[in-house]
Each structure stands twice: as structure tokens, then as C-alpha cells.
Amino acid sequence: MATAVLFGSFAAFLLLNVPIGISLGIAALITLFMFQSIPVDFLMKELVTSIDNFPLLAVPFFILAGEIMGKGGISDRLFRFANSFVGNKTGGFAIATIITCMFFAAISGSGPATVAAIGTIMIPAMVNVGYDKKFATAIVAAAGSIGVIIPPSIPMIMYGVGGSVSIGDLFIAGIVPGIIVGLGMMVWAYIYSKKKGYMGSDEPTSLKNIVKSFLNATWALAIPVIILGGIYTGWFTPTEAAAIAVAVGLVVSLFIYKELKFRDLPKILIESSLTTAVVMIIVGTATAFGKFITIEQIPTKIAEAMLAISENPLVVMALITVFLLIVGCFMDTTAAIIILTPILLPVAVQIGYDPVHFGIIMVVNLAIGFITPPLGVNLFVASGISGFSIGAISKTVIPFFIAMVISLILIILLPQLSLLFL
């Protein structure tokens, strides 16, 4: 009965368009008052203790770093470097945009932040050289999803905290899958561009242009090397890396590229604080929601139900994948990971999946949710930049969705892609 009230009230609030963090909190509160076997102050304690966590400090820092670097000229230099390799080839601008999103993913850790930083530059640039604006918008929306797959990744931090899995190992495991997803998108971008005759810049690909753009983007390219290199060598933790990313981003944007001014900082701090507040509210309420699920022994029941259907690991993983793809359409990635990790991770381990490998499967699954309506956060951000409706972008983004699903299947079937460097 408590389970029905918990999920029923949560679904009702979502249908009423109540923000997901508030929906989770009110659903937990209603259940708390109706079934008073749990102390009344349970929800308040969870809201505080769930975010009183050192690894979670990385989240606001990476959000702030993404805001700083998106407005500090870094994304523009990353594009010029990527464009120097493929700019004059078939679909050059489209492929360069995807590569730029992959570079920026190694800085921001956020899908929507990647779309906002790259979209404002690349959508007008592609339109200026003859690309269809709808196609350009779909590319940025889809490629922005890589922002949570290539490390650093905020969802990976959430999974690591919720599943007691090494965040450093998750970051290492996310590199190859992120590249595979990017390559899958590039294949479709090339096919479509060849059909439509889309090219890129008139500037030829040459060693001189590559070296010139590399020197211009040296600091932009050095930032992910500093962040990830420091984590992988053990010089600092992911949380410390996030703080260093903010410091390096400020120095590069203010004093080296000089495209960020001190007067811009208050607005950046406000925007990143609002984003952080939303994320942390979701973390707190989703944790309380998840505790109710654990008390009701829902993870055990779901595990038993799935294993009753089949004990074949691939069949069970197929069920989990379909379930996560559906969840990604309706639920925020952060909330989904916090709620579902305690439920699905034991099932995955029971059928023989490595916790790190399953973490990557889960993150890639939910990353696809960034481009699937009705939630589709990346679609909303891209829509705000281009002016197209969500429906119009959704149709154009379907081939990229298929490319991501194919990439996901490869990641599931070939665990060595995720565990190669571990």
C-alpha cells in the first residue's frame, strides 16, 4: 500500500507539471504522514544528510566550471581546433561540432551545459555555410548528451555515491564509450551531409592550419588533460579536480584569453548557483524517496520479478535497458540514478555485470533521455537557441537516437570497451 501511495502521488505530481524535485519530496512526505512507521523528521534529515557528502562537492564545482568555460572563449577555440581536421570535408562543420561537444564534455560534465556552450556558436555557424537549421539544432542537442558520458560526469558522480563505486574508475571507464557514441553520431552526420551536399569551411586541411589552431587552443585543450590526468594519476580526487577546474578556467578565461570580464562573474555565479540548487534539491528528495523504496524492499521484488522472467544475463539486461530508456523520457537523469541505482545495481551484479561497467550502461541509457520527449532537456535548450519547437527537433534527432542506441548495445555486449583501462 505504501508503495502504491509513493509512486501514485509522484506520478500525479509529474502529470500536474510540478518540478521533479518537489514532486519527489511531496510524494515522500505524503507517504510519511499516511504510514507513520518512520519518524516524522525523516525527510528533513535526508534533505541535509544526503548532500553532506564530500564527493558531491564536485557537482557545484563542475557546474561552475562549465559556466565559466562556456562564456570564456574556450568552446570557440575547441571548435576551431576540431574544424582544422575536418572542416573542408563532407559534413565538416557537422562532424567538427560533434568533436567539439566531445572536447567540452571533458570539461563540463553536463549535457545541457554542453548544448548551451556549443549551440550558441555552432548553430548559426552551420546555417551560415548552408546547413539546414533544424539539422544543425538536432546535431547540437544529440552531441550534447555526450557531456555526461565522457568524464568528468555529474551522473557518474551520483552513481558512484549511490552505489559505493569508485568515481575515478567510472571516469576512466567512460572515455571509450563516449568516443564510440560520438563516432556513431559522426557516421549519420556524414551520411546525411553527403546526401544534402553539406560541406564546411573553404579553408583546406593542412599541417599549418592544424598547428595554428592547436596553438590557439592550447589552454582549452590543456584543461581536460589537467582535470582527468590529475584524477587518473592520483594527484587529486574528482572533487579536488572540480575545484581545480574552476580555478584553471577562471585564470584562462580572465587573464589568458581575456574574453571573460570580472563584471561577468556575478551573473555566472548566480546561474551556476541556481543550477546547483535544483540539482541538490533533487538529490535530497530523491534520496528520501529511494529510502522508502528500500524500506518497502522494492529492489528485492524487482530482482525476483526480472529473474523469474529469465536468468539469461542478456535478457535481463535487455529488460533493464528498455526500462531505463522509458524512464529517461520522463525523469531527470540525476533523480533516476539516485532512485534506481540501489534497485538495479544488485540485479546487475547478481547476473554477473561489473558495477563499473553497469554504471556506464546506466549513464549512457539515461543520456539518451536528454533527446527523448517529453522531458528531453537538451531539446529544450537547443529549442531556446534555434527557435524551433520541441516536436520539430524531435523528428530530426531520431537518427541520432538510433545511433546512440546502437552504441549502447555495443557497450553492453563488449564490457572491455568500458573496462579497457581498469
Phi first, then psi: give them for residue 410, nearest 5 degrees. Answer: -60, -40
Q: Three cell numbers at 168?
A: 575515478
Share of the chain above pLDDT 70, in %: 98
d(CA 101, CA 97): 6
Q: Is the pLDDT of residue 1 over 80?
A: no
**Cis (ω within 30 of 0) for the bond into 152?**
yes
- Residue 36 pLDDT: 64
Q: What average pLDDT does this structure show over 383-394?
A: 88
Question: What are the tens digits of pLDDT across the range 16-39?
Answer: 888 888 888 888 888 877 876 667
d(CA 329, CA 293): 21
Query: According to the per-residue pLDDT averaged within each range, which of 114-118, 142-146, 301-305 is highest?
Result: 142-146
Average pLDDT of the chain to the nearest whole number: 88
- Residue 177 pLDDT: 97
Q: Is the pLDDT of residue 190 over 90?
A: yes
**Cis (ω within 30 of 0) for the bond into 266?**
no
Q: Is the pLDDT of residue 321 over 90?
A: yes
Question: What are the tens digits of pLDDT across the range 208-224?
Answer: 888 988 998 898 888 88
Q: What average pLDDT does this structure show over 240-256?
A: 91
d(CA 377, CA 370): 5
d(CA 119, CA 111): 12
- Residue 146 pLDDT: 95
Question: What are the tens digits of pLDDT across the range 299-309?
Answer: 777 778 888 88
Phi first, then psi: give them for residue 94, nearest 5 degrees. Answer: -65, -45
| CA distances (Å), origin 225, targets 110, 216, 298 | 18, 16, 42
Q: What is the pTM of this model?
A: 0.88
